[in-house]
Structure 1
Amino acid sequence: MTSNYSDTPVDKGILIVLSGPSGVGKGTVCKALRECAPDIVYSVSATTRSPREGEVDGVNYFFKTREQFQQLIEQDQMLEWAEYVGNYYGTPRKFVEDTLNSGKDIILEIEVQGALKVKQKFPEGVFLFLLPPSLTELESRIVGRGTEPEDVIRSRMSVAVDEIAMMEHYDYAIVNDQVDSACSRIRSILTAEHCRKDRMIAKIQHWMAEVRK
């Protein structure tokens, strides 16, 4: 029997935003996710700084002139952006939207203020806050880097407490006690989010329309 039903539209991917205080292990968790969940796309930021040796446009960053970046801001094509040490950094809207429309999940690893800006434009995203097992452990991780003096460490801990207080704006809190465990929790959250009925409405409506033709 030949079906007369047309193809079901591709499900949109999920935007995942991961934040947490400095030293909590965001980069380490994202690196581990690349290995255990290679189907997740990692957002590529845009910047006005010059490429470093070995960096590739569109892979490490989207390299823009200052004028190009400012134009993207004016056209509301940056989900979030900031200026740091004389250069712009930000998340291009088009790259994120194209990835989601292709049915792939995409993850943004950004600081709290940037995440809140993204949430204003993508409230349907999944916002994850990575926590340390304790503040004592967080301080130990920062001290363990051996790269910062005591006054900087105190400042980082103060900022960390302020950032943790912003956790109420996130959907999930994940304790990074072990990297593998944190990755497993994130994957479980994504599995559950893909099963939410409101993410399947377009597919179900398409099926109903096909049957009622």
Structure 2
Amino acid sequence: MATLHRPAIHRFHDPVLPEPRRSSGPVGDRLVFAFWAGAGMEVPGTGRRYAGNRDDAVMTMTIREAGPDDIEAIISVGQRTWPATYGFAGPEYIATGLQTWWSTEAIRRSLENTTVLVAEQDGAVTGTGNIDLRGETPIIWKLYVVPEAQGTGVGSALISELLSYAGGRPVRLEFTAGNTPAAAFYAARGFVEIRREAGERPGWPETVWVERRFAE
């Protein structure tokens, strides 16, 4: 597992998220968010809904570094998000991506070479992301949230914590052209397009590279 880094944190304001508290646990340092959830709101990853007639339930979201015990849960995130996200790119694109980037061996390599984070809500892993700090410019290779947890602040919390590892350096990431929600999400957080690459196979969509620079 990648070494836990704690550089100076450079955060951007995101109104979706409450003020977090940092705590430690058996997996290491973690960021914990607690916020109110309305009655009838689904508990992500469980199929249950909050009971009651008032907004009186507290949903807890934890962002922490992943370990080997999280491999199956991380793979599950990929298996649930890729078909829902990349239908426009075709079944071959989805199958190849899952085989290449979401296999047990691929996740093990990520844990060895990058900092991998997971988001937990009520005990279920609902999102994951990783950042590669080995080069001059850190790269976020993955940022995925299961469909039922999208819009609950998981993606915002994950990218905020991933950016904190960069120590003020510019950060780059890539997404698939045609993924309109991803384009809007990253643009809203200060990422600007720097280049495009052709799809790896004929008929596959382009890859869009974007970069975020921190204010001096």
Quick check: TM above 0.5?
A: no
Asked which structure has the greater CA Rg, the reply is: 1
Q: Which has the higher contact order (CA 8 A, sep 6+)?
A: 1
TM-score (norm 2): 0.29
